[in-house]
Every structure is written in structure tokens, then in C-alpha cells.
Structure 1
Amino acid sequence: MPDDGHTESSLAASRLKPSSSYGWVGPVSRKLSLSRRYPSFLLKMLALCLSSPFLLLLSATLTINGSPAVFFFAAEAVPTNITIDDTNSAFTFESEWVAGPCHNCAAQLDQNLTYDGTWHDGGARTGLSGQLKFSGTAVYLYGVTSQDDTGAINFTIDGQSTKPFDPSFGVPAVVHAYNFNFLSLTGLSNASHTLGFTAILAANTSQTVLIDYATVTFDNSSSSSGSQNGSGEGVGGLGSGTPPSPKKSSNKSALIGGIVGGIAGAILLLLVIFFFIRGRKHRSVPVKKETNIEPFQTGNPAGEQAGIPSSTSKARLPAPTTTNDLLNLPLPLPRAETPARSSASVGGDAIRNDGDVTPSDLPLPYLQPDIIL
């Protein structure tokens, strides 16, 4: 029958034997192998999210007029603003308009406060006109005003008159007001339009009209509807402190924005799933405490197993580690030589000498038990 100590040792050694793939096999190795599976799991989940059409509908988030909106591709175009400077070929001015900056002009403006550092000065002659050709659903005309020297402006859209700008309402009481809105015209059809403007100056005054830039709103929808002549008022008002920068958009840019947002959302979702599963795995794997095993020990002497009392008590011997330890182990005692047996016969009877003792007459405890190495 195998010794219990050796059996426990072999079982413990088998639980802790090295493995070429995941290190030590046992409770610790299970944690290691489990943690190695996480990267492949995350890659599979990421591939699934990126290949799913579900991503295109849920992940594309755009901003329309400062408010977040879910963008469904090919469902509705996104309105976009584009800024047109006064030097752009979309603007045309009569020859007597003077392009600023100019040293001989009555109005000396700060270039850093105008859009792209340019503007057009209508001078002191009334009736100067110009026009802007654009495509879109809305148009906004901006310029610079003077406290008492700003003239009126008449507007037309596609040849139809619209409400003019009246300088007697809303002009700030400052020397020059930059980014001032002369016209806000919305509700146009998404098509080509022509905006006409004419400077109206009071007689015997130093009034003038200063045109800086225009902002046009357009989209890519083919079914846009609106009034051909538009609706809006030529009401003066301050625009934003900083002129809007030119922007262009298309379905391609919207698609790219949607894909980027979808990837970010998918990564966030995968991180949440990863930490959730990791927490559950740590709770489900019990922590086993390994006991110290001492495989080198002596068993019961043979005499005790046979029911014979022994003078040698149980003792554990330390495992030999060096050659000197092996040499210092106790050796079995040698057997005593059998002395010559003498006998005498007296009257034919054999007389035994009590001094003659054989090893077989000694008690069994005399024998030294073998040491199990």
C-alpha cells in the first residue's frame, strides 16, 4: 500500500507542475489563462460592433444650430452656413464703390475687426448698388455702421423687393459697430438666388454704407421648399462679436463624423462589458489555500504494524539535503555472533548453559527498524 505522505506529495506536485502555455497549472494558472482571454474577447466584440449596420443608425450624432441631433443617413440634409467675403467673386459692386482699407476714405476702420480685413465703402453718392449671387435657403448681410453717418439700404431678392434697412432703428451709439446685421432673409427655396442692395444716402450729409461680408445657409436636400421671395425683415441688429468662419459640409463629412462617433461609443461599451465580466469572474473563482506538504517522513515501524510493541517512538526525520546528511544517518546495529553452545551430559542428560544466548532469544525490539529514505 503506498504511503499517504507520498500520495499527498505527488498530488500537490501534479497540481503545481509547470505548463508551457500558461505557466503553473493550478488555481493561479486558471486566473492567468482567464486574463489572457480578455484581449481576444474585446477584439471580437469590437469587430462585431464595427461590422454591424446597427452602428450607422445609433452612433452618428451631429449638432444642428447648437443642439445635438441624431443623424440618419440619407434621411434629411443638415443646414450649413458658409461665409462670403466682400472680395469674393459672388459679390459685384458698381465702380464707384471703394474697396477698403483706403487712406482717402472718410471712414477709417480697424482691419483686425473686419472679416478678412476688407470691406467696401459706398462713398458719399446715393444710389450706388451691388448684388450677391448665392445658392441656399437663407442669406444674412453684415457691415459696419457709424453713429450718425450710416445710410439706408434697399434690398431685392430675385428682383422682388423686400423690407429695407432703416438706420434710424437699432444703430448703436458708437463710432463704429462691426459685424452689424443689415439683412436677415430666411425661408428661401434651396436654389440659386440674387440679392440686390442699393445705398440710399441723405442729402447734404456725410452718410455712407460699409459692406463687409454675407453668410448663406444651404443644404443638400432636393425637396426643400420655401417662398421664392423669402420672408424676413431688413431690421438692423448686432451680429456675433466674431464673424463666422467659412464652412463647407457634405454627406461624406457627415458619414465620417458618424463613424468616428460610433467607434468611440463602441469602445466605451466594450470597456463597460470588460470590467463587468472581470468583476464576475473574480467573484466566481474561489481562492484555495495550499497546505505545506512534507513528503519525507517515517512510517510506523514494522513491529507496531504487526502488533508487537516497540521501544522506538514515531519520529519525523528531515529530508536529507546534502551528502553529509546522508552519511550521518544512523545505521542498523550489527547482529551479535552466535557463541559456541556448550553442553554437558550428566548421566546422559544434556545440561544447558544459561550463559549461552542466541540472537533469536533476544526480544524483537532489539532489532533496529529500517529507515525509509
Structure 2
Amino acid sequence: ALVAAWGVLDRRLSGRTRVLLVAAPLLWAVSYGAMTLYGHWSAQAYGAAARLASGEATGGESPNSRLRIWANALQLIAQQPWLGVGWGEFNVAWSLTAFPGRPTAFFDHTHNLPLHLLAELGVPLATAVMALLGLALWQGWRRARATGGERGTTAMTAWMMVVLVGVHSMVEYPLWYAYFLLPAACAWGYALGSNDAADDASIAGAAPDPDRDRGRAPWLTPLLGVAVTLGGGLAMLDYQRVVVIYAPGEGAGSLESRIADGQRSVLYAHHADYAAATHDQPLPGTALAFRRAPHYLLDTRLMMAWARTLAQGGELDAARTVAQRLREFRNPDADEFFAACEADGPPPFQCLPPAVAWPWRAFLRAELAGPNVR
């Protein structure tokens, strides 16, 4: 609809372009219908249709609908309105907070950009950030609109790309992926950089100001390009330190040594932390793993391993709190973990409620790897 509205309202576009933009919703509907029919005839699942049927994206009966995670996010905001849960801490805060009837999937994002900022940054700071984003969006539109010619059309196209990513961010989190974030940032910068002095001169047919670029180092752009290229190569090499944990080649060494090396990764150590935390036996890096891994994504395996380690370390209330939160997810992968509750004899720790339930922040303040783990 946004693309069609652009085609209707922007008279600077060529007639052919405007027709294509206005026809975009119809083209989408035809493509959707064709893919649905093809999936029916070939007995193959069509992802978009399956998601709509499940109700996840529309607020239907699915336990993982957007409305459910948004309701949980609003409760977290109400509990911590001023400072939020902290940047990057939504998953651990949400996973370790009691939410009866919670979604069964492990969410690390609210799937709504304003809600996510409010939950993690708190109302005051998130409001300021969103106001600045809104101002930058308005400035991008104003400058793109004021730029004439082909450059103006390109700038408006860039601005529309940002708007579409913003709309997508109301139900997903594309900006948490580099292949959405970086193009959106480049497009936004392009729109904001339009209608400057050089553009005005070009539009008017005059020569650009020769003093405009004076003082700019001509070597800066190539240097930045080289730095980005080298940084990408170093990041790839760093990633290989954790790849070998899960896909070892010949002569890769023992699993324990690969995990230890992966935990020294600059960018990807959390993958090695997960492997260390969920390993069958305590490793030298297990304590470090439990201090860092829960900040990335708590899932069934990690919560079971964490609860067991806490219980072994004597932190029974903490262990039972983690087990209690895990039970709320109703995940089949945890059935074996809780099967002991149906057996005869004294119930293990995961079958009993904590004498005092731990709030989620208490897990971050304490040394929770357990004294028996080294």
C-alpha cells in the first residue's frame, strides 16, 4: 500500500514507474495466489501461507502470536519503566520473569521496534531515541523532496526503502540483521545528504564550489575501504574459531580444546559459551560460559544445564526458579527433564517450587556458575 501511495502522490516519477508502483499490490496478490496454488498442487508447504494459518503473525490461536509477546513486553515495561531491562537483555529478563501462558518459543526480541526500545532502554531514553529517529526520517523526506532531477528521485527511493524497513520493524526485527541494517543506514544517509550545496549547483546547471572539498583528505575514503575489507577478513577468521566446535575438520583437536579456543573469540565467543555450558561434563570454561551465555539466548538446553549446575552448586532456589520458568514454556524438549517428577521417591530439585523465587536481575548480580564448577 505504501508503494502504491508513493506512485499516486509523487508526480516527479515517470508515468511507467507510477503505473508499476500502483500495480505493486496487485502483482503481490497474484504472486501470492500463484505460490499458494503451486504449493497445493505440488504438496509443498508455502511458508507465508503456513504462517498466516498458524496465527503467529495475526494474533490468532498460536501461543507464539505477536500479540502475546507484545503483552509480555508491556508487562516488562510496566515493571521497569525508567531504565528498562538493559540493552540486549530482553531475552534473559523475559525468560526469567514469570508469565503464565507465555509464548512457547524463545524470543530474543519483541518483534516491534518501539516496544523493544521501551523494554530495554526505559521510557525516557527510548522516547528520546524514537523522537530523534522520527526527526531524521522527516528530514530525509524533506531533503529528498526538495532535491530535483534524477538525484531527487533516487533520494526519494532511498527514503522509501527506509520507510518500508520501518514498517517491517513493527512486526519483526530486520534491523538486528546486518543485511537489512547496513542497506537501510546507507539509504537513510543518502536521503539525508540530498539537497546540499553541490546538489543545488548541479540542479541549477552551475559549476560546484571548488572550495567545497578543500580540507578533505583524499586518502580517507580508500583507507576506510581497506579497513572495512581487512575487518571483514579478520571477522571471518575469528568466526572459524567457533565453527570448528560444531564442524571439526581433520586435526581439529579435542572438543574441550576447541571450546576453550572458541571462548577466546573476540566476536563470536557466545557460540563457544553455549557449547561449554551444555557440555555433559564441567570444563575449565564452564563458569565463564554460564556468566555470559544467558545474555544471548536462553533456550531449553541452556536452561536445563543452568538449573542443574545451580543445584549442584547449592543454589537450590535459583535452580528451582530457572526450572519453574522453563516449565512455563511447555517445550517438548524438556519433557525428559521433568519426567522425574512423576517417578516414585524423593522429588529432584526441578519438581519443587523455590522457597523464595529469584527475580531475574538477581541472576545477573550473583556468581551463578556454582562453587563446584571450575
Same fold (TM over 0.5): no
- TM-score normalised to structure 2 length: 0.18
- TM-score normalised to structure 1 length: 0.18
Structure (1 or 2) with the greater strand fraction: 1
The one of the two structures with greater contact order (alpha-carbon pairs below 8 A, sep at least 6) is: 1
